[in-house]
Structure 1
Amino acid sequence: MTVELSPDDATDPGLSPLRNFGNEVMLERTRMNMSRVELGRAVACGESLVAKIERGDRVPQREFTEGCDQVFPHGNGRFMRLWRLALRYAYPPWFWPYVALEKKATGLRMFNPRGSSGDRADPELRDRHPQGGPPQGSGGPCHRAT
């Protein structure tokens, strides 16, 4: 069972950008007397995905947004503009600093406590540490005598 949103919800200024995007989709769809099934067919997705997007439960894909701009011609690209804003705030507030950091990132590094990937590329280090751990016979705390 799906819950239809009231068009009155679209006037709430406290809505998140994602919820606002969904309300705009619902308002345009109802204005054009379209069902969720019809909109889903027009933008190549299912009725349940349309419902989730309208409720603000799901971040729409770019293809959905572009499809809405084609299906609703009076929007003049409104859905693409709203989508960019919705993407910016699609994360919980505590995660926003990480999104900002990711935009500045120029590379990705991984940490592995058992050894770094650079050790594997250097033949001299690879021979000294064949399993990424301490050298053979080092007598480390986890070393078993053979």
Structure 2
Amino acid sequence: MSVDEVDGVVVEDAGWEVDPGDEPGRAVLATVGRQLKTWREAKGLSAAEFGELTGYGEDMIRKLERGDRIPRPEFLDRADEVLGANGLVAGLKEDTSEVRYPKPIRDLAQMERRAVEFCMYSNFNVHGLLQTDEFARAIMQTWRPAFRPEQLERYLAARVARRAVLDKDPAPEFSFIQEEVSLRRPIGGKMVLRRQLEHLLEVGELPHVEIQVMPTERADHPGNGGRIALLKFADGTAAGRMDGDFGGRPVSDLKRLRILDLRYGIIRSKALTPAESRDFIERLLGET
């Protein structure tokens, strides 16, 4: 995580970096920055004085006011106190709540919030919506090139936020199919894996969630081309993608969606039933 310096003392950064290509996010941050500057100037404070009162350096304050950094919620809370804004500056957290996440993940999260049915086949890793925080962190720490600490925290926060779709009311229907290998690889160590398996058993008890396991011994299923994700919406439209087809890009035309739906249906029919899958996960847990 990047840091700032105040009077020779190193403190935590007041904000996150902005993705260079995130134009919508930059527009939001520019507006937030102008409001921060307006409040500061109305209070008669210089950037240096405001930084001293909030615990950050002048340079960081100017970056926030230019919209070059995403303000952290705790910074906005402290700034609200210093400026006597009665919640108006702290309320900017709502404007920045999604901008803090990388744009591709925001776009995905928006689609997931609209979906009424999820069909997810995962071959190498436990699906992100099913991961515990520590399992997600362990997976992301294996990615190369490695994330900087700040990037890692942003992606983790985004993954945690996406899981809110599991608790929606009314709840969408979820179908997850996991390859056996994704449940055996001890990412993060055996205890992390144990807690992940326990979490799968808990989530699988939800009435709107089905988790199925595809045993490694099943050779004749059409999932060898990679992951499949299919989101279906209330208006009858859908969106999907598959690693090994259509260039890995999202598709929404009926012809390609039919292909994805067909493949997913066959994979689902060849996987263990939800009850058999629960027994299988319990046995894995006993072996781990």
Q: Provide TM-score, normalisation by structure 2.
A: 0.31
Identity value in percent: 24
| Cα distance change on mapping 1:37 and 1:82 into 2, 3 Å | same
State whether structure 2 residue 97 is matched by structure 1 residue 87: yes
Shift of 1:42: 0.6
Equivalent residues in 2 for 1:121-136 (5 A)? none
Equivalent residues in 2 for 1:9-88 (5 A)? 16-73=27-84, 75-88=85-98
Query: 92, 106, 116: which is aligned to 1:96?
Result: 106
Structure 1 residue runs of 4 or more that deviate by more than 2 Å after TM superposition? 89-95, 97-101, 108-113
Provide the rounded CA distance (Å) in 2 between the counterparts of 1:42 and 1:65.
13
- The runs of 5 or more residues in structure 2 that have no matched partner are 1-25, 113-127, 143-180, 191-288
Structure 1 or 2: more strand by fraction: 2
Shift of 1:16: 2.4
Provide the rounded CA distance (Å) in 2 between the counterparts of 1:34 and 1:42.
10
Shift of 1:54: 0.3
Q: Secondary structure at the match of 1:59?
A: strand
The aligned length equals 102
Considering only CA atoms, is the larger Rg found in Structure 1 or Structure 2? 1
Query: 78, 91, 107: which is aligned to 2:131?
Result: 107
- Give the letter aligned to residue 105 of structure 1: L
- The C-alpha deviation readout for 1:57-115, integer Å capped at 9, x for no partner, is 11112221111111111x221122112221212445433134556xx8341564999x8
Query: 117, 121, 124: which is aligned to 2:186?
Result: 117
Which structure carries more relative contact order (alpha carbon 8 Å, separation 6+)? Answer: 1
Q: Provide TM-score, normalisation by structure 1.
A: 0.56
Provide the rounded CA distance (Å) in 1 between the counterparts of 2:49 and 2:64.
15
| Cα distance change on mapping 1:78 and 1:94 into 2, 3 Å | same
Shift of 1:19: 1.6
Provide the rounded CA distance (Å) in 1 between the counterparts of 2:72 and 2:56.
10
Provide the rounded CA distance (Å) in 1 between the counterparts of 2:92 and 2:63.
16
Q: What value does the CA root-mean-square deviation take over the aligned residues?
A: 3.1
Q: Give the conservation status (yes or no) of the 8 Å contact 2:71–2:96.
A: no
- The runs of 5 or more residues in structure 1 that have no matched partner are 1-14, 122-146
